[in-house]
Structure 1
Amino acid sequence: MLPNVFLMAAAVLAGAASSAYVVTVVDRPQPVVVSHVVRVLDAETVEVREGDRTTAVKLVNVAAPAADECLHAEARNLLTQLLPEGTQVTVTREGQFAALSTQDGMLVNAALIGEGLAVPTVNGIRFLDKAKEANNSAVEKQKGLHSPDVPCTLPGQVRAITEAAAVVEAQPLKGSRTELTVAADTAKTAIGLVDQLAKPGGLTWDAVAPVDQTVLLAKVTKVVPTLYRKEAELRNVVKGLK
């Protein structure tokens, strides 16, 4: 039975009118403080020393992958590279969040987003435009969460499915048992990826604009019948081989 990818696409269309950004109320920006990095706590949180005390700073306008999400390790590693221990940073607070700038003028929040290892979130307004500009650049350059070359991203999963469909469609039914079995297994693996896409959510989806999600899912919808048909045909041929 085919998965209802049409319902999946409809769900994306239903959400197309809304932004992936989450809006929260923030306080007025607090005074700027010069601090030193103690350590990176996760992909969007940094511990800094301000005078004689340390505090955890959560980056404003930054939604980075959680520990169990695609590209979490890469995002955390980049943040660690940008902010090694002892780095002097300017902390500009906005409500419960903050922007971190290095002494050479780099806005760390935007740098992380610009590499496609985080997406903008609207929990502050002062640095939001820079976050969006960085995200537009990452999308255009297909970096990180926007890259079809990264298997765990949404574009990467869709590419894997469509390429698998092309491979199994090209497989003749007169091949060897090994060739036919490998092709059938390839189709089965791709079908498993389709099933995963039937449960949209998380940062891999938030990173892709609703209209682009619709385009990607249309590609999947087109090849799903091929995957099911070819797997069944290949399995039947293998069964008949002696």
Structure 2
Amino acid sequence: MLPYVYLMAAAVLAGATGSAYVVTVVGRQEPASASVVRVVDGETVEVREGDRVTAMRLVNVDAPAADECLYDESRKRLSELLPQGTNVSVTREGLLVALSTKDGLVNTALIADGLAVPTVNGTRFLEQVKAADNVAAENHRGLHSPEVPCTLPGQVKAITEAAAVVEAQPLKASKTELTVAADTARTAIGLVDQLARPGGLTWDAVAPVDQTVLLAKVTKAVPTLYRKEAELRNVVKGLG
């Protein structure tokens, strides 16, 4: 198991350096006015321009898909930023858009809340969304939060806290207490196995240098989890 975790760290670094995006550079257009019909997901909005309703994707915004961490929260937050009927200013960049309300640029607001991450599919607003992402990371919001169980920091926190709990568990305890501690170790090991397959938005939200720090914590916790689970199971077995 230990080599698996070390390989995981190497894979993360290799993936971070190998990522590539296509950047589309287009001529700038004046913003157009429209009204919100509905929010489809965390990066897609239907708007009405005159008699035409069009589904528009937000430029530089990569929000959770339906099976990803914080999908519901991302969609809900975008719906709060863009209630039905809201007047918006539409700035196009290729086939993508930036949407602004009287409160500012929606693309950056969602990212600043940690409910989406920047993606390089346009250049005009790229620095703004990167700055918003830095705010989210510094304040541990959304996908950057260790308090959200499905995020990468949240999973690492669960693993390290489980290691501390089982390490502190005395072997002279009730069968129930020992079993609970052993199960805690097993659950944390399951999270480690998940982290051995890096990828997805939860990883994209964390800078490569921070990924390395988090994975080092996991690597340190793994031996404790395996050792203590084995010890606890043996004691439980001996109790009959």
CA gap of 1:76–1:84, structure 2 versus 1, over 3 A, is same
- AA aligned opposite 1:7: L
Q: Secondary structure at the match of 1:48?
A: strand
SS in 2 for 1:101: strand
Q: Which residue of 2 aligns with 1:7?
A: 7
**What is aligned with 1:145?**
143
Quote how far apart the aligned CAs of 1:27 are.
2.9
Task: Calculate the TM-score normalised by the size of structure 2.
Answer: 0.97
Distance 1:3 1:183, change over 3 A: farther
Are the counterparts in 1 of residues 23 and 123 from structure 2 also a CA contact under 8 Å? no
Q: State the Cα deviation string for residues 177-230 of structure 1 (Å, max 9, x = none).
A: 000000000000000000000000000000001111011000000010000000
> Residue in 2 aligned with 1:35?
34
Identity of aligned residues (%): 75
Q: Tell me if structure 1 keeps the 8 A contact 2:144–2:153.
A: yes
Q: Residues 13-32 of structure 1 correspond to what in structure 2 (within 5 A)?
A: 13-17=13-17, 22-32=21-31
CA-based RMSD of the aligned residues comes to: 1.3
Partner of 1:47, secondary structure, is strand
Q: Indicate conservation of the 8 Å contact 2:2/2:219, yes or no.
A: no
TM-score with structure 1 setting the length: 0.96
2-side partners of 1:167 and 1:204: how far apart? 25
Judged with a 3 Å threshold, the aligned counterparts in structure 2 of structure 1 residues 97 and 65 are, in CA distance, closer, same or farther, namely: same
SS at structure 2 position matched to 1:223: helix
Answer yes or no: is the 8 Å Cα contact 2:60–2:122 preserved in 1: yes
Q: Secondary structure, in 3 states, of the residue corresponding to 1:132? A: helix
Aligned partner of residue 104 in structure 2, secondary structure: coil
Please give the alpha-carbon distance, in whole angstroms, between the structure 2 residues aligned to 1:2 and 1:213: 17
Query: Contact between 1:3 and 1:195, CA under 8 Å: does it hold in 2?
Result: no
Q: Which residue number in structure 2 is paired with residue 108 of structure 1?
A: 106
Segments of 5+ residues of structure 1 without an aligned counterpart are: none
CA deviations on 1:28-63 (whole Å, 9 max, x unpaired) are 233321000000011100000001111011000000
Equivalent AA in structure 2 for residue 84 of structure 1: P
Structure 1 stretches of 4+ with a deviation exceeding 3 A read 15-19
- Which amino acid is 1:4 matched to? Y
- One-letter identity of the residue aligned with 1:66: A
Aligned residues: 240
Whole-angstrom CA distance in 2 between matches of 1:185 and 1:202 = 28
Question: How many angstroms apart in 2 are the aligned matches of 1:16 and 1:56?
Answer: 31
> What secondary structure does 2:34 align onto?
strand
Match of 1:78 in 2: 77
Q: Distance in 1 between matches of 2:16 and 2:119?
A: 17
Unaligned ranges ≥5, structure 2 = none
